[in-house]
Structure 1
Amino acid sequence: MNRLAHHQGIHKFFTTLGLALYFSKPVLKHLVHIVDAMITKGFSGTLTDLHHGSFHPNHRTTLSHFFTKSPWEEETLLRKLQQWILRCVERIAKQENQPLFVSIDDTICQKTKPSPRATNAIQACDWHDSHTEKKSIGGHSLVWLMVHTATQAFPFAFRLYDKAAGKSKGELAIKMLSSLDVRRPVYVLMDSWHPSKALVEACLKKGFHVIAMLKTNRILYPNGIAVQAKQLSRSIEPDDTRLVTVGEERYRVYRCEGALNGLDDAVVLLVWKADQPMTPEHLHCVLSTDRELSDEEILRYDAQRWSIECFFRQAKDQLKLDGYRVRHIRTVKRYWAVVLPSCVYSIAESQQTLSAGLELLRSRKGHSVVEFIYNAAKQDIPIDVIKKWLRIA
Structure 2
Amino acid sequence: MPYFMERYERDCESKIDKVCRIVESLPMATGTAYGLCDSWFTCKSVIEAHLKKGFHLIGGLKTNRVIYPKGVGIQIKEFAKYIEKTDVHLVTVGRKEYWVYRYEGALNGIDNAVVVLCWPKKAFQKQGCLHAFLSTDTELATQTLLEYYSERWPIEIFFRQSKGNFGLNTYQVRSAQAIDRIVALIALTYLYCVIGTGNYCPLGRRLKEVRTASQRDKVAMIYNAAKNNVPLTEIFAKLKIA
The TM tier, using the shorter chain, reads 0.7 to 0.9
Q: Which amino acid aligns with 1:355?
A: G
**Aligned with residue 139 of structure 2, among 274, 286, 292:** 292
Which residue is equivalent to 1:359? 208
Decide whether the 8 Å contact of 1:241 with 1:252 is kept in 2: yes
**Aligned with residue 226 of structure 1, among 64, 73, 89:** 73
Q: Which amino acid aligns with 2:211?
A: R
Which residue is equivalent to 1:256? 103
Give the deviation of 1:228 after TM superposition.
Answer: 2.2
Distance 1:352 1:288 in 2: 31
Unaligned runs of 5+ in 1: 1-153
Distance 1:184 1:320 in 2: 38
Q: Which amino acid aligns with 1:161?
A: Y
Is 2:15 the counterpart of 1:169?
yes
Which residue is equivalent to 2:185? 338
Unaligned runs of 5+ in 2: none
Decide whether the 8 Å contact of 1:244 with 1:296 is kept in 2: yes
- SS of the residue aligned with 2:100? strand
Which residue is equivalent to 2:49? 202
Decide whether the 8 Å contact of 1:212 with 1:287 is kept in 2: yes
Decide whether the 8 Å contact of 1:266 with 1:290 is kept in 2: yes
Decide whether the 8 Å contact of 1:234 with 1:280 is kept in 2: no
Distance 2:61 2:223 in 1: 59
Q: Which amino acid aligns with 1:221?
A: Y
Give the deviation of 1:250 after TM superposition.
Answer: 1.4
Identical positions, percent:
40
Alignment of 1:80-229 (within 5 A): 154-165=1-12, 167-181=13-27, 183=30, 185-229=32-76
Give the deviation of 1:375 after TM superposition.
Answer: 7.0
Which residue is equivalent to 1:238? 85
Give the deviation of 1:390 after TM superposition.
Answer: 4.1
- SS of the residue aligned with 1:282? coil
Distance 1:251 1:308 in 2: 22
Is 2:152 the counterpart of 1:308?
no
TM-score, scaled relative to structure 1: 0.54
Decide whether the 8 Å contact of 2:113 with 2:137 is kept in 1: yes
Distance 1:234 1:334 in 2: 49
Decide whether the 8 Å contact of 2:99 with 2:124 is kept in 1: no
Check 1:392–1:295 CA distance in 2 against 1; reply closer, same or farther (3 A cut).
Answer: same
Distance 1:376 1:293 in 2: 64
Distance 1:291 1:347 in 2: 35
Computed over aligned residues only, the root mean square deviation of the Cα atoms, in angstroms, reads 2.6
Is 2:172 the counterpart of 1:319?
no
1:268-317 Cα distance to aligned partner (Å, 9 max, x none) = 11111121132574321110112222111111121222212222222111
TM-score, scaled relative to structure 2: 0.85
